[in-house]
Amino acid sequence: MSRTSRRSKALHASNGHGLAGCDPLRAARVRVRVRVLLLCVCGALPLAVILVLYFSAESSTSSTTQHHTADLSRDRLSHKPGKYSVAQIKKFAAQVDGHRLWETHLRPLLIQRVPGTAGSQTIRQHISSQLGSLSAGWTLEEDSFASSTPKGAVTFTNVLAVLDPAAPRRLILACHHDSKIFPTDPKNPRRVFVGASDSAVPCAMILELAASLDTQLKALKQQRSALTLQLVFFDGEEAFEEWTDTDSLYGSRHLAELMARSPHPSGAAKTSLLQAVDLLVLLDLLGGPEPLIVNHFDNTARWFDRLIAAEKRLHKQGLLTSHPSEQSYFRKDFYLGPVQDDHVPFLNRGVPVLHLIPTPFPVFWHTLDDVEERMHRPTVENLTRILAIFVAEYLSL
Ligand SMILES: [Zn+2]
């Protein structure tokens, strides 16, 4: 557009200069020159216009693509969460329903959920039906794929829920829905591994977050916000035998690769769904009493600080139960090393991560004692309230 304007301005100046003067011979020569010039101009102009249009279209396509790439990372880095008043904190905390979390969301998950089995299908239906019953209007998808394992080929299915698939950016909350293959108790064959903390409770917490924020999430979707929420329930986190790079993280390895191959926003040439992820918040091994959750990554430390702030503010308002000090769960003052988990395939591709897992692991980890009776209900409700504030502030609900 701007190049075409400059060219037509130059043409007018040239014509005005050529017609100046009053000598007849000179005027005739000038007229011939002007005709020749006009013929040349008339011939060259369409070509010039075509070239200008071609190059401006080219540059506009490439600048749009660069714009999207720059915008996604710039917007992610400069993202500012809402900062809530005491009244708003109370409102969001009150929306978390501990009874619904436990009875409606958690109980149906407390069965064997080994990939490719009927138990897995049952709990996937439970997750989908809970989210499908909400008013926010989640787009639900089952991401199924086959993979070879030490036990042969197995079909895995991640459950994905996105509030607004077209939104440029996403906050992801994730957990794994599968349970580890485990030998039953020889003295009591009916005693099976149900992985209450690993990871039925984290999945129930995510379902309760979606339910408790339903009204505000519906409004967020209606506003067509640039930032949306995605929920991911991974299959196949657990190893079938010993944990190795190939025998573990089946669902997250598959999804990270799939998202890296999926252009986003729609039609983008250089950006994928992975660049759309502002932050991946992974919950695992939660449910036991007195969890110590430490910060694992410097690049997301400011988001870990928001969790600390939410815990402190809820504590000061008396909105947490069985919570002895204002900073009981989220700590930045010590570190016990990294933990391999579903975030790794995303972390390796540059996705910012918050890994919410207690270290050290609960004493009942990978034992038949990882059951409902060992969970600490007030802690689970407290953590869900803290996360409700975090998510609401992140999305400015
Ligand atoms: Zn496990």
- Which is more confident, 346 or 65? 346
- Residue 380: both structure tokens together: 């689970």
- Which is more confident, 217 or 185? 217
Q: For 259-294, how does the pLDDT look when each residue is reduced to its tens digit (9 = 90+)? A: 999 999 888 888 999 999 999 999 999 999 999 999
- The answer to whether the beta carbons of residues 185 and 370 sit under 8 Å apart is no
Q: Residue 49 phi/psi, 5° resolution?
A: -60, -45
Measure the CA–CA gap between 32 and 40, rounded to whole angstroms: 12
- Which is more confident, 63 or 202? 202
- Which is more confident, 52 or 375? 375
- Which is more confident, 328 or 39? 328
Q: For 131-186, how does the pLDDT look when each residue is reduced to its tens digit (9 = 90+)? A: 999 999 999 999 999 999 999 999 999 999 999 999 999 999 999 999 999 988 88
- Which is more confident, 96 or 270? 96
Element at 330 (helix H, strand E): strand 330-331
pTM reported for the whole predicted model? 0.83
Measure the CA–CA gap between 264 and 68, rounded to whole angstroms: 9
Measure the CA–CA gap between 353 and 347, rounded to whole angstroms: 7
Q: How far is CA 158 from CA 80, 258, 279, in A?
A: 30, 12, 19
Region 54-70 average pLDDT = 44
Please report the pLDDT score of residue 24 as a whole number: 38
- The answer to whether the beta carbons of residues 34 and 21 sit under 8 Å apart is no
- Residues annotated catalytic, as ranges: 237, 284
Q: Residue 71 phi/psi, 5° resolution?
A: -65, -45
Q: DSSP code of 184?
A: P
Region 197-222 average pLDDT = 98
SS3 22: coil
Q: How far is the CA of 44 from the centre of ligand 1 (A)?
A: 72
Q: Residue 161 phi/psi, 5° resolution?
A: -135, 125
- Which is more confident, 184 or 89? 89
The partner residues of 147 in beta bridges, in order of sequence, read 154
Q: How far is the CA of 375 from the centre of ligand 1 (A)?
A: 15
The partner residues of 185 in beta bridges, in order of sequence, read 188
Q: How far is the CA of 149 from the centre of ligand 1 (A)?
A: 17
User: Looking at 104-118, 182-196, 361-375, 382-396, which range is the least confident one?
Assistant: 182-196
Q: How far is the CA of 337 from the centre of ligand 1 (A)?
A: 17
Q: How far is the CA of 249 from the centre of ligand 1 (A)?
A: 11
